[in-house]
Structure 1
Amino acid sequence: MNNYKKVTEYADTAYNGKANPYYRENIAPPKQRKRHLAKGQCKLGVFPRVKITGICWDNNQHIYDESEVKGSVHDIDKKLNIQAVDLRIALHSLSQNYKELFFLGWIYLHLTILVVLPVYLLIMLGFGGWDAFLDNLDVLIFGGLGVLVSKYLYRLLDKFNLVPLGDYVIFNRRTGMVGIANDERTSYHYLPFEQFNAHHRTVHNERGHPYYGFTLLHYKEDLMYQVADYSSVENALVHWELIKNFMDTSQPLADIPQFERYRLYDPTTAAYDRKHGRPADFWRRVDKKFMKKVSKIAYDVVYNFPVKKADTLHEALQHGYKVPDIVYFPWREADQLSENPLVIKRNWLSRYIVSPLIF
């Protein structure tokens, strides 16, 4: 028997999944918007509030799990003063703030140089032989040292909390509020999740390849959470399911690695887990091979969603679409669990020597 403790209560403002049509029918038009992106997004279609795909296994679950093991997720939470007991989650949003764009560009510059330098030397080796390679070896040495110094400068600024984090939007399940940083990054705007609409979003890279996502735009204010890095509409829908699930207190949290640390503190989820006998800390005790298995099944489920034939899970079921139980109840099919939950180990060698090299 799991010893769950209900250590928090939902506020009266918590979102319970009951969508108010007012916020869908009274979306402020472009002429009432100030920002260019908001002017365009408010005219686009809205993702429905009903259950669409029936799955919350975002394709970033593996990345999140690795980030948790390395401690980087908890680093962000510490800077934003977020604890699991608060039932808050910080999700990265595309930023339009010049400071955040500068630091993002700084990261990509490092990555570009680390790719360009070896390629340049290989070209010298291929066309000029060893002599040309050795003559240009100083480019690699000084270029690498320059990047290393630059990366550690970035890490130093990050350590002293000088890297802006306003591009993270904070979703609060306990209060039903969404926190979005102001333009100056000095405080947050807090508005009810119910007042935001998920508008379609598509962007194209320099080659014309489309990436899909959505803009969670307030029905009246130009405040938003935006993602546009998915290769398919289906994945964008799954991310929307993930956010809705986290905020909807009328249902338990989805059984995914990203939500494991919240389950113990969430009243609805704790009651659900007690009723079904779910093992505590499941995703921190299960074999990683099992996670890959569930991830593969979830991947197939997402890409089999009949997006052209159905708009909701109910309609999809009529087309033979099925979500296997292993996605909803993964712990029922796990062979064995470790007696000791995973302990987050902030390995100094990896975090302060290796990570700065590869970012």
Structure 2
Amino acid sequence: MLEQYAETAFRGKQETKFRNEIATDERDSMYCRYQSKQAFYPRDGVFGHCFDNSQNSCYKGNITGAEKYARSILAKGKNELAMPLAGNATNIAGFVIFSWAIIHFCIVIFLFVMPLFSLALGAVDVALEFLAGLSLCWIVSKLINWLIWPFLRFKYNLAVIFNRATGMVEVPTKNAKDFDIFPFEEFNAHYRVQHNPKSGFPYRGFTLLHYQQSMRYDQTFSNQIASAFIHWELLQNFMNVTQPLADIPQFEYYREFDKTTAEFDKANGRPKYFWYRVDKSFLNKMSKADDELRKEFNDEEQLDNLLMGKPIKKLTPPDIFKFPWKYADNIKAECDIKFGKTLWQKFTSFLMVDL
């Protein structure tokens, strides 16, 4: 079964029925009915790498331990090759949690801004009222986070799980208490655009949608389509058991558990736990290489090609994306790896709510 899945799911070999026999008006969700009629992303690589600016936060999360903590909550005790990703909320529980996090973030911002702004205007009494009211809101939210949420969070599924070991995509159900599970090859990436009322520029991305069921994973990025292509390529790479995992911070945890990747690393002399050991400045070198590659892409032209069903220009990435350790300086010894947050990171974490 796994061999058949690996043969058909990648490099444009997805079975035709998953592309042509797409349910449109039969779906339960109106949103999914609409999305199923949108343009397809190609089922193969375009950039040839999976590195973008989001890897900076993954690198930081690895070092502080935030990524490990989030994975332990969201992966629900699955195998070591299960990658949980939180896209746009697809059920009421996810929407409530997302809204709570946003509201709490706004409370923290106003807690500092509003009293200072009032003081600047000479309104001391108003500043004290803001400080008292917002502090009370923050305390209540934190108490919920500390005392109540830990007993509830394991009851809800808040992320879509991509399982490299089984080839399955596990999407939380509407009640967020179970998963709908289907093979990765039965999902298509459809073009998605979301209006950004603040800037006026649209967010572009994709909806990874099952070819018949109303099961989805949504992601949007900046007004450029390139980031969406890279993220779609990241998902394909993670689920492609015939190829080693891309060498990016987000995948460092999984490398030693995947047979194909471990064999590749050993054959090429890759330092173990490279992204835990390399200096943060190396990320800038990777980002510059990505910027140079994107100049060849012509974002608007490739977006037009996607919407018109024309071939997307494929790029040839430099070797720094395949063998990054060969281009890195200041790789620490394995025994010098230290995980943990700085005092500032601990303070900001304290202010916010967590999973």
Amino acid at match of 1:237: F
Quick one: which of 243, 252, 271 aligns to 1:279? 271
The 8 Å contact of residues 77 and 83 in structure 1, kept in 2 or not, is answered as no
Residue 116 of structure 1, aligned match among 100, 105, 110: 110
- When the two chains are superposed, the root-mean-square deviation of aligned CA atoms in Å is 2.8
Match of 1:211 in 2: 203
AA matched with 1:283:
W
Amino acid in structure 2 at the alignment position of 1:261:
Y
- Kept in 2, the 8 Å contact 1:94–1:167? The answer is no
The answer for the alignment partner of 2:231 in structure 1 is 239
Secondary structure of residue in 2 paired with 1:202: strand
For normalisation by structure 1, the TM-score amounts to: 0.85
Name 1:5's counterpart in structure 2: none
Q: 1:325 aligns with which of 319, 322, 330?
A: 319
Unaligned runs of 5+ in 1: 1-9
Once the 2 structures are TM-superposed, how far is the Cα of residue 139 of structure 1 from its aligned partner? 2.2
Query: Partner residue of 2:157?
Result: 166
Report how far residue 107 of structure 1 moved. Answer: 1.6
Number of residue pairs aligned between Structure 1 and Structure 2 = 341
Tell me how far 1:226 sits from its aligned partner: 0.8
Contact 2:64–2:340 (Cα < 8 Å) also in 1: yes
- Are 1:257 and 2:249 an aligned pair? yes
Whether the aligned pair in 1 keeps the contact of 2:44 and 2:236 (CA below 8 Å) is: no
Long gaps (5+) in structure 2: none
Equivalent of 2:18 in 19, 23, 29: 23
Q: Which residue number in structure 2 is paired with residue 197 of structure 1?
A: 188
Change (3 A) 1:69 1:270: same
CA drift of 1:164 comes to 6.3
- Percent identity, aligned pairs only? 34
Deviation, 1:123, is 3.9
SS where residue 283 of structure 2 aligns? helix
Larger RCO, structures 1/2 (Cα 8 Å, 6+ apart): 1
Cα deviation code 1:69-91 (max 9, x no counterpart): 23222223223456796311011
Contact residue 82 and residue 88 of structure 1 kept, 8 A: no
Cα distance in 1 for residues equivalent to 2:88 and 2:19: 23
Alpha-carbon spacing, 1:315–1:26, altered in 2? closer, same or farther (3 Å): closer
Q: Deviations over 1:61-116 (max 9, x none)?
A: 11112222232222232234567963110111211322221222122112222333
Corresponding residue for residue 151 of structure 1: 142
Look up the equivalent residue of 2:241 and give its one-letter code: T
